[in-house]
Structures are given as structure tokens and as C-alpha cells.
Amino acid sequence: MARPNLFPAADIGLRNALQKLEQLEKRPTPEECREWVKPYADWASYITIYLWGSLD
């Protein structure tokens, strides 16, 4: 994989999952998602998979 750490912050599913995880009243913006993931940048792809999986 050429880009090992992907975090598609504009993805609606990912934004919905982050809203659910953080118990937010409204869906986070793509910029808010980017800020949220910064401390975990080395794990961005794993976080993406986890968040998508949490929607099942």
C-alpha cells in the first residue's frame, strides 16, 4: 500500500462513527475529524477500520 495511514475525514460513515464514539450531538466536520485523529496519526488506518466496523 503506497499510503499506509489513511483517514478519509470527509467520509460520511467515518464521521457518523466518530459522532457515535464520542457521543457528540452533531456530526463532526471533516476538519474536526482531522484534528481528532492527529494524536493517533501513526494508527490512522487502523482507526478508520475500527470506526467503520463500529457501524455494523
One digit per residue, the tens of pLDDT, for the chain of length 56 reads: 566 789 999 999 999 999 999 999 999 999 999 999 999 999 999 999 999 999 98
Q: How many domains does the chain have?
A: 1
52 inside domain: yes
18 inside domain: no
Half-sphere exposure of 52 (CA within 13 A, CB side): 12
CA end-to-end span of the chain? 25
17 inside domain: no
Tell me which residue range forms the domain holding 35: 27-56
- Report the predicted TM-score, pTM, of the whole model to 2 decimal places: 0.87
**What is the model's pLDDT at position 1?**
54
40 inside domain: yes
19 inside domain: no
46 inside domain: yes
**What is the model's pLDDT at position 2?**
66
Residue 11 appears among annotated catalytic residues: yes
Point out the catalytic residue in the list 5, 8, 11, 36: 11
Distance CA 27, CA 37 (A): 15
**Residue burial 25-38, b: 16+ Cβ < 10 Å; e: rest:** eeebeeebbeebbe
48 inside domain: yes
